[in-house]
């Protein structure tokens, strides 16, 4: 049984993330989507909120399990007896940091292989930061995230654009 870990902050999960998870599920018998508790980032959503959104978004794929993890991803690889770490590559700009992370993980645990998957062309530009910025400015993100995630974002930042996102009255 081949097990792959797909780690990410998923703040929030987008259709690009879902696309990568689906691609991985066609290659590996089991995929573990790992919602990272990354102390170096300041996520909009709590770990429980991100777990909820990722679980909801991937519920239709029985071979994908969703967990949270706060340690080194290589330790999670060992714990789950995984053979691969899945990383999405959207564009050339992702390559340098992903390449560095893959080699660091291999140095920490030489059995940690990284497989890079490219999303569908329509998601190559998409990232969570962009989605959050669009909704904060009152834009429509329905083409970028599942409906459940869209509702969670509206509750978190409001749907009224800049004034609602900044807390100003208008």
Catalytic residues: 17, 41, 90, 128
The alpha-carbon radius of gyration of the chain (Å, integer) is 16
Structure tokens at 165: 């996102």
Tokens 């919602």, residue?
Answer: 35
> What dihedral do alpha carbons 129, 88, 121, 158 form, nearest 10°?
-20
Q: Report the distance separating Cα 64 and Cα 42, nearest Å.
A: 26
Which tokens is 107 given? 């140095």
CB-CB contact of 102 with 114 (8 Å) = yes
Residue (of 109, 143, 43) closest to 8 by Cα position: 43
Asked if 44 and 76 touch (Cβ cutoff 8 Å), the reply is no
**Beta strands 64-69; 84-88: pairing state:** unpaired
């Amino acid at each position: 049984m081949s097990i792959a870990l797909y780690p990410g902050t998923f703040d929030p999960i987008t259709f690009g993330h879902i696309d990568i998870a689906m691609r991985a599920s066609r290659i590996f018998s089991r995929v573990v989507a790992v919602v990272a508790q990354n102390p170096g980032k300041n996520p909009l959503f709590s770990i429980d909120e991100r777990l909820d959104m990722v679980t909801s978004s991937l519920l239709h794929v029985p071979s994908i399990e969703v967990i949270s993890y706060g340690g080194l991803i290589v330790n999670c690889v060992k714990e789950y007896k995984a053979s691969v770490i899945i990383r999405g590559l959207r564009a050339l700009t992702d390559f340098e940091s992903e390449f560095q992370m893959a080699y660091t993980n291999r140095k920490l645990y030489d059995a940690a292989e990284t497989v890079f998957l490219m999303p569908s062309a329509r998601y190559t530009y998409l990232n969570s930061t962009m989605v959050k910025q669009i909704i904060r400015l009152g834009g429509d993100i329905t083409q970028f995230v599942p409906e459940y995630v869209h509702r969670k974002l509206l509750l978190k930042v409001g749907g009224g654009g800049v004034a609602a996102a900044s807390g100003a009255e208008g």
